[in-house]
């Protein structure tokens, strides 16, 4: 049985993001993954994943507002500002939708300075800032377009995170 696997994704990413690496090569790869994860590295596959998330956002919103049996754990990855002109893409959970914006909590408390997210994690997300969305349907993830790219580009690193390694996506 799966127990809140999507909430664990963000925690696993945070642990991986802040864990030490044993050598310079591994540290460099880790740093590259973090920048990639937050959309600070130009990549056509990541750009396509974000575009697909935006193009299918209406499907996610429909499921969020009227979930079918077995549809749970609704999350979005939202773009927030960071220092030095960079951005950070964070998971937001406990979602509600008011017809214009999503409201929820930053899932992993890794918001960096400049994000505008208060310490309690509350966040309001404009739909144009959604970089990805995902929910659980049965034992599979629906959406998660950027995670699919992350797993493809960084297989060694994501295989170290059981939640990501074992995640199955619905096509």
pLDDT along the chain (171 residues), means of 10: 46 46 80 85 92 97 97 94 85 96 82 75 95 94 94 86 80 75
pLDDT at 22: 62
The C-alpha angle with vertex 13 and arms to 62 and 68, in degrees rounded to 5, equals: 20
pLDDT at 108: 61
Rounded CA-CA distance 72/87 in Å is 28
| Residue 155 belongs to some domain of the structure | yes
Q: How far is CA 70 from CA 48, 122, 127, 166, in A?
A: 28, 26, 25, 19
| Residue 160 belongs to some domain of the structure | yes
| Residue 171 belongs to some domain of the structure | no
pLDDT at 37: 85
| Residue 46 belongs to some domain of the structure | yes
The number of domains in the chain is 1
pLDDT at 77: 95
pLDDT at 7: 47
> Among residues 115, 123, 111, 105, which one has the least CA distance to residue 17?
111
| Residue 154 belongs to some domain of the structure | yes
Domain that holds residue 58: 5-165
| Residue 170 belongs to some domain of the structure | no
Q: Is 24 exposed, middle or buried (0-12, 13-18, 19+ CB in 10 A)?
A: exposed
pLDDT at 114: 67
| Residue 76 belongs to some domain of the structure | yes
Give all strands (DSSP E) within the chain, no chain letters.
Answer: 71-81, 87-97, 101-106, 122-126, 130-137, 140-143
pLDDT at 11: 43
Full-model pTM? 0.81
Q: In the structure encoding, which two tokens stand for residue 15, read together?
A: 């642990």
Rounded CA-CA distance 21/23 in Å is 6
| Residue 31 belongs to some domain of the structure | yes
């Amino acid at each position: 049985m799966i127990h809140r696997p999507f909430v664990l994704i963000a925690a696993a990413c945070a642990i991986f993001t802040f864990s030490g690496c044993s050598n310079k090569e591994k540290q460099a790869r880790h740093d590259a993954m973090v920048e990639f994860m937050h959309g600070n590295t130009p990549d056509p596959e990541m750009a396509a994943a974000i575009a697909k998330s935006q193009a299918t956002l209406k499907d996610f919103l429909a499921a969020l507002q009227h979930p079918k049996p077995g549809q749970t754990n609704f999350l979005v990855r939202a773009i927030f500002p960071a220092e030095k002109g960079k951005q950070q893409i964070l998971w937001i959970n406990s979602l509600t939708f008011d017809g214009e914006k999503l409201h929820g909590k930053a899932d992993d408390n890794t918001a960096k300075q400049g994000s505008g997210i208060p310490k309690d994690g509350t966040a309001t997300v404009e739909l144009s800032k959604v970089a990805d969305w995902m929910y659980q349907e049965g034992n599979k993830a629906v959406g998660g377009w950027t995670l699919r790219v992350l797993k493809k580009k960084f297989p060694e690193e994501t295989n170290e995170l059981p939640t990501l390694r074992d995640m199955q996506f619905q096509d």
